[in-house]
Structure 1
Amino acid sequence: MNSQHFQTPVEYLKGVGLARAEVLKKELGIFIFEDLLKHFPYKYIDRTRFYKIRDINPEMPYVQVLARLVSKEVLGEKHTKRLVVQAKDDTGYIELVWFQGIKWIEKTLVPGKVYVLFGKPGSFNGKPQMAHPEVEIYSSKEFKQKGNLTLQPAYNSTEKLKQFSLDSKGLQKLISSLLDMHAKDIQENLPLYILNKFKLAGRAESYKNIHFPDNQTQLNEATYRLKFEELFFLQLKLLKNKLLRTQKFKGNVFASVGHYFNDFYSNKLPFELTDAQKRVLKEIRIDTQRGVQMNRLLQGDVGSGKTVVALMSMLIAIDNGFQACIMAPTEILANQHYQTISSLIGDKFLEIALLTGSVPQKKRKIIHEKLENGSLKILIGTHALIEDKVQYQNLGLVVIDEQHRFGVEQRAKLWRKNIIPPHVLVMTATPIPRTLAMTLYGDLDVSVIDQLPAGRKPIETRHYYEAQRLRMFGMMKQEITKGRQIYVVYPLIEESEKLDLKSLMDGVEIMSREFPLPQYRISVVHGRLSAADKDFEMQRFIKSETHIMVATTVIEVGVNVPNASVMVIENAERFGLSQLHQLRGRVGRGAEQSFCILMSKDKLSNDGRVRLNTMVKTNNGFEIAEIDMQLRGPGNIEGTQQSGVLDLKVADLATDQQLLIQARQCVEDIFARDPQLALPEHHILQAAFQSKNAGLSWDKIS
């Protein structure tokens, strides 16, 4: 807010006091005046017009009527007691009825006077009626001043707040009194030329009008202004962070491409790189030559060949005398990377090792020694890589897989493993909509692998209802006869592990009846198995000793069995889109045609139907991510909860994509001509930026 008034603790606002302040803090996270000002309405009730009685009907939302009271009477006894009032305008009569607070209301109502009635219209015996309306005497002069012919704000409240009379009305009163006292102290934080360029309303006026708009136009202008401001400062923070980092952190220079890279490319690479892979390698190559630390996000769909790009980048590091490492979030995934890379480079090419929690102490010691003397070139592992005992001779490149699963502090530890921080390549197989990537990873450079390797056939996806189960079994048998293997996955719903296990075990029983021994063999994997048992079952499937793997979603990440050509997802309607897409990516890894079968119950919710239709219609992860964001909102996409970046109050990334792109472009233009924000017209930004980000440490990693 820039004015110290807005940093005042909320208990000092007239009408709050200590008890109410305590409940505002606990229930809504409102600690200071600024927090209260940013508690925006979630909807508005239209009080901009009066309706005639003959024009209202029970289908309408809340309406406002101007009518003269004709009569009032209290009817019924004890439990059936009610106050019934007749009112009329020049088009007809309406009945008003109260079942509570009768004594007080009856005393205040005066027949013959004109009242403003506001409530939800209903009907009784075919005549218009309103139960428990808000009523106030109409005075044409006062009415406009009291601000009732407006869009009335409705605020989120809770049961606890209501006990302190802080329902929507109570909050409205507090915000109104805060604006009366301090609206004049709300300072502008955007330069005049930006206000003019984007036709933005003033800041103080926008805060006033987002809470108490006189009409829809005022509300639209205020919302547009505050959304732009929020997205603009978010991008300013991210891009300033990026700028500071390139100035502050020198990077190791990978000056040449040498023996390891060339030998691998010419003699060991088993397939032709796609154009997308070549483009990304070129971007990494340019980054690592500049003497500035690289921070690049590599997005690519499941199976698009990110691991090969990561390996070739690591070979460039090794060619320049450095070591490299890959950090994965789970042992399964770390193992997977180790197997893939070992099979690509062969035994004698260079020394690599795997370090996870289950590596025995004796072996660890050897790994630690070889790392320190520099003979170990590539280390692959889980967060065991960031333990203090793990010391590198010269770490030049860090590859972080599925980075949203690691906290900032964990990643920072890797930075400290070298005097000059290593280059960082972050990989994710969760396609992220462009606008979300701009926000979550706005300070990283983004590379996208948007092609699948040649020879990969697109996975064919089918949706079967429960009634079509026999067709699904028939298809499974057909594929097994061809020598293929099959995954059958059950949903894992955290509230009830027992229920999950039951549905999984019921599934195993049905499968065992349909696919009996000795002709068919089944592996079963679920969360309750020990790591050793899980691994044993996985290995049986990987070695083709079993035909079917029935599992909960533990197989979502990191299982690579090229011979598995069918993925059956049971209760598919209970999975999110990104999870369905990840699961589907477990097949289609060989040259054969692969299939994904989505099994669902017959009755589906609207969202459930959209999700399953989307999966049948497209294999494009980015398209799927866009639809996922429209359905669930950006805050629920995997990884965004941990990021903390998405604490947006007015803007919504699902609907305000265009505005975000404009705000980012605007910030990029500013930094291109004034990286220090030193020009006179940018002093206002510098001040706003510093006050917004006081206490933030820019050398934390994003």
Structure 2
Amino acid sequence: MTSFSLTTDLESVIGVKTTKTLARAFGMRTVGDLLGHYPRRYARRGELTPISTLPVGEQVTIVAEVRSVSTRPMRGRHGVLLEVVISDGAGTLNLTFFNQAWRQNELRVGRQGIFSGKVGEFKGQKQFAHPDYELFDDEEEARSSAEARQHQPIPIYPATSTVTSWQLHKAVLHVLAGLGEVPDPLPEPLRTAEGLLDARTALRLIHAPDRPEDVPRARDTLRMHEAFVLQAALLQQRQAVRELTATARPPGDLLERFDAALPFDRTPDQIAVGDRIAADLQGSWPMNRLVQGEVGSGKTLVALRAMLQVAQTGGQAALIAPTEVLAAQHVRSIARMLGPQLAPELMPTLLTGQLPAAERRKAALRAASGQARIVVGTHALLSASTTFADLGLVVVDEQHRFGVDQRESLRAKGAAPHVLVLTATPIPRTVAMTVFGDLDVSTIRSLPAGRAGISTFVAPVAEKPGWFGRVWERVTEEVAKGHQVFVVCAAIDAAAKDADADAPDAAPVDGESERTRWGVVQVAEMLERDPSFASIRIAQLHGKMAADEKDAVMQAFARADIDVLVATTVVEVGVDVPNASTMVILEADRFGVSQLHQLRGRVGRGSVAGLCLLVTEAAQGTTARSRVEAVAATTDGFALAEVDLELRGEGDVLGDAQSGARSSLRLLRVVTDADVILRARAVAEDVLQDDPPLSRHPELAAAIERRVGREERAALNKN
């Protein structure tokens, strides 16, 4: 048999038809793609799958034993219904086949096998309709091969309704039989120090282990492959950015005048991060830096000082924000911080899609002529009609809300501009290395002095119904003191079909209500009918309102013309109302940990102590309740980010917006593999420092090319 490599087209190995099926189901096109589809778990003959745990509606693969087989005529139509009951020794599952009575010859009582199908339910009993299956050897054969196969694990693969686990396994075995040498991306010293297998052996043992103990060794090896190749790719991208030439932007009198007029002292973290950015802007390559910090930690101040440094040399800065409300607030905040001396000189300009045509043309002309040194906008900044005279700095607010293509569109409007990314969502170190590994990361941990802080309490209204009324009493008490209150809901209108518009980030999990009960509309109506709210000014804010209407409501709230703002998560970022003392989050279990923390950061921003009430019906001990209680237990966003990672897993944390290699982790888990990622990055840094083009490491270069293909590399280049 001709041997082939990881880059060989699958068509030439397993045929056109099978390859097309695998390409449609999993995007597989090469031998490496197939061998990179690792088993999800392993079963053993005689070890049956618990049927009680099978989720209805999911496609599953299980190992079970046939308990009974019967046939009967179908009601109201011609033909025979074959009914088979399989069991795990405790529960049972019904298999139904229409007009396939011949299957009773092989599905005999006592036979064991792998069964795959979509779990349905009929009259309270779980069932598979027309499942796929593969039976183990019959009793006579089983006895003869018992010694050899008794302990051999059976790989169970992530499968679909069109491709079963054992079809994948057969294709993998066929490929393994003809696989030639597999280049090993790991440097020999690393492989030896870690006690890892060679690449070909690792692939064979993860797909066709002889004994259960083969699996961990194979996984450890391939996990390090994944960490090392990914870190090398990210570091290589950082290296590529550093080969570009940027215009040096030294600081000058603009920054001096701004600092002299500041009515407060910068925090030590603001100074340290600001100095780092100032040095970056004077470097010979473009800055590519992520600044993470709590809500209110001063990220906008740090970004504005960078804008002034760029403006000193005649350059422009563009700040892209995720919403019209936030963009408008940024412009007002920047103009206020610059003051009457600097604002006219730098002309901070708003450019959004919702501006009247004449205003938008005027703003675009200011950007194109260079008259506006600071331009703030939303996606309108990305349009082909928006140009800049000398774009020297791109500031991206809330990085996770923009896809790489959008960020690249803005970056392409300048000649290798510096890039500064801001996020108020604290990022665990391993996620930062895995998702933003090509960016330099700075953290602002300390908050400015004079903050009164926030107290957070859980209101478990399912266990203590009386607390629901007490929540609204607290709201009236705060308003009576002259303070303002946010009430956050998970939907706009709980009665509408699109009740999830403006929905929170977290998908329903154990302990959450399936559907929201309290939308903005319902809460506002309830409060307006309550006699104790008769003199309280209430307003609504949500994503379906026009941009100018949203902006008007927020400005009215900021002026204290509104006492209680009932809103969706549109208030999550950028809303600064120092007089707001209290936030009530209804159905808090429907929100993620980081999102709850972000929302709560809207209060306690001035000298008024903040209060956050997390209202939930989730039962104690559920994942949903754990999330809410974790937020109440600490105000440390970085500690909560780690909790969030453990509760949700990295699939949710990385998100779909992070294209390419970053979101397609296979064996690597940022929750549990921090040490692997750290070791891999350290060795990758040494390798790239010693051999930047990887000319002496062709196996690693080839692995990066396979792992980070053309599309993924384009995505990395755009970050």
Give me the TM-score of the superposition, normalised by structure 1: 0.83
Q: Is the 8 A contact 1:116 1:138 kept in 2?
A: no
Shift of 1:393: 2.9
1:571 match: 587
Structure 2 letter corresponding to 1:422: P
Q: 1:154 maps to which residue?
A: 156
Q: Distance in 2 between matches of 1:582 and 1:171?
A: 44
Matched position secondary structure for 2:584: strand
> Aligned with 2:458: secondary structure?
strand
Tell me, in whole angstroms, the C-alpha distance in 2 between the residues paired with 1:235 and 1:139.
48
User: 2:470 and 2:231 mapped to 1: Cα distance?
Assistant: 52
- Which residue of structure 1 aligns with residue 473 of structure 2? 474
* Larger CA deviation: 4-13 vs 308-317: 4-13
Output aligned runs, 1:405-554, within 5 Å.
405-419=401-415, 421-466=416-461, 467=465, 468-492=467-491, 496-498=497-499, 503-514=519-530, 516=532, 518-554=534-570
Q: State how 1:180-579 maps to structure 2 within 5 Å.
A: 180-182=177-179, 184-247=180-243, 249-255=244-250, 257-267=251-261, 269-349=262-342, 350=345, 351-419=347-415, 421-466=416-461, 467=465, 468-492=467-491, 496-498=497-499, 503-514=519-530, 516=532, 518-579=534-595
Q: Following the alignment from structure 1 to structure 2, what is the Cα–Cα distance between the partners of residues 26 and 208?
A: 25
Query: Conserved in 2, the CA contact under 8 Å of 1:523 and 1:540?
Result: no
Matches within 5 A, 1:621-640: 621-637=637-653, 639-640=655-656
1:433 to partner: Cα distance: 1.4
Q: Distance in 2 between matches of 1:356 and 1:73?
A: 67
What is the alpha-carbon distance in structure 2 between the residues aligned to residue 259 and residue 313 of structure 1? 13
| Cα distance in 2 for residues equivalent to 1:387 and 1:58 | 54
Matches within 5 A, 1:30-69: 30-47=28-45
Partner of 2:692: 675
User: SS state of the match for residue 27, structure 1?
Assistant: helix
Q: Provide the rounded CA distance (Å) in 2 between the counterparts of 1:636 and 1:528.
A: 26
Q: Is the contact between residue 440 and residue 640 of structure 1 (CA under 8 Å) also seen in structure 2?
A: no
Write out per-residue CA displacement over residues 254-297 of structure 1, whole angstroms, 9 at most, x where no aligned residue.
23x32221121122x22221111111011112212221111101
Deviation at 1:669, TM superposition (A): 1.6
Tell me the distance in 1 between the aligned counterparts of 2:324 and 2:68.
76
For 2:391 and 2:53, how far apart are their aligned partners in 1? Answer: 67
Structure 1 counterpart of 2:581, one-letter code: S
Looking at structure 2, the residues matched to 103 and 701 of structure 1 have their Cα atoms a distance apart, in angstroms, of: 57
Q: Contact conserved, 1:241 with 1:698, CA < 8 A, in 2?
A: no
Take 2:518 and 2:68, find their aligned partners in 1: how far apart are those partners? 61
| Structure 1 residues 659 and 57: alpha-carbon distance in aligned structure 2, compared to 1, 3 A threshold | closer
- Residue range with higher mean Cα deviation, 591-600 or 498-507: 498-507
1:335-382 alpha-carbon deviations (Å, 9 max, x no partner): 111111111121232322222123333334443444444443222222
Match of 2:169 among 166, 172, 190: 172
Change in CA separation of 1:599 and 1:9 when aligned onto 2, cut-off 3 Å: same
Q: Which moved more, 1:304-313 or 1:187-196?
A: 187-196
Per-residue CA deviations over 1:446-488 (Å, capped at 9, x if unaligned) read 0011111111132111100221112212211221111100011
What amino acid sits opposite 2:213 in the alignment?
A: T
Read off the aligned partner of 2:570 and give its amino acid letter. V
Question: CA contact under 8 A between 1:228 and 1:659: conserved in structure 2?
Answer: yes
Shift of 1:153: 0.8
The change in CA–CA distance for 1:158 and 1:118 in structure 2 (over 3 A counts) is closer
* Inter-partner Cα distance in structure 2 for 1:234 and 1:666: 12
Contact 1:331 1:356 in 2 (8 A): yes
Q: CA RMSD in A?
A: 3.7
Q: CA deviation at 1:664?
A: 0.8
Q: Which residue of 2 aligns with 1:92?
A: none
Aligned equivalents of 2:370, 2:64: Cα separation in 1: 79
* 2: CA distance, partners of 1:427 / 1:436: 16
CA distance 1:518–1:63, change in 2 (3 Å):
closer
Shift, 1:525, TM fit: 1.8
Q: Is the 8 A contact 2:492 2:542 kept in 1?
A: no
1-structure distance, mates of 2:656, 2:360? 34
**Cross-structure match for 2:57:** none
Shift of 1:529: 2.7
Determine helix, strand or coil for the equivalent of 2:693.
coil
**CA distance in 2: counterparts of 1:595 and 1:137, whole angstroms:** 68
| 1:483 aligned partner, one-letter code | G
Bigger mean CA offset, 371-380 vs 616-625:
371-380
Residue type matched to 2:254 in 1? Answer: Y
The 5 A counterparts of 1:604-643 are: 606-637=622-653, 639-643=655-659
Deviation (angstroms), 1:534: 2.7
Tell me, in whole angstroms, the C-alpha distance in 2 between the residues paired with 1:80 and 1:676: 65
CA distance, structure 1, for counterparts of residue 321 and residue 239 of structure 2: 28
Deviation at 1:684, TM superposition (A): 2.9
Change in CA separation of 1:370 and 1:107 when aligned onto 2, cut-off 3 Å: closer
Answer with 560-569 or 470-479: which moved more: 470-479
Are the equivalent residues in 2 in contact too, given 1:541–1:547 (CA < 8 A)?
yes
Aligned pairs, how many?
A: 650
Distance 1:64 1:639 in 2: 35
Q: Distance in 1 between matches of 2:350 and 2:685?
A: 41
In 1, Cα distance between the equivalents of 2:715 and 2:652?
26
Distance 1:315 1:683, change over 3 A: same
Say which is worse superposed, 318-327 or 586-595, in terms of deviation: 318-327
Amino acid at match of 1:555: V
Tell me the equivalent position of 2:664. Answer: 647
Whether the 8 Å contact between 2:404 and 2:715 is mirrored in structure 1 is: no
Most deviating of 391-400 and 437-446: 391-400
Q: Kindly tell me: are residues 150 and 60 of structure 1, through their superposed partners in 2, closer, same or farther at Cα, counting changes over 3 Å?
A: farther
- For 2:278 and 2:307, locate their aligned partners in 1 and report how far apart those are by CA, in whole Å: 11
Contact 2:351 2:364 in 1 (8 A): no
- TM-score normalised over the length of structure 2: 0.82
Find the residue that maps to 1:348 and give its secondary structure: helix
Residue deviations 1:18-52, cap 9 Å, x none? Answer: 2x4433322233333332222211111134x899x
- Contact 1:368 1:390 (C-alpha < 8 Å) held by counterparts: yes
CA–CA distance in structure 1, aligned partners of residues 392 and 95 of structure 2: 75
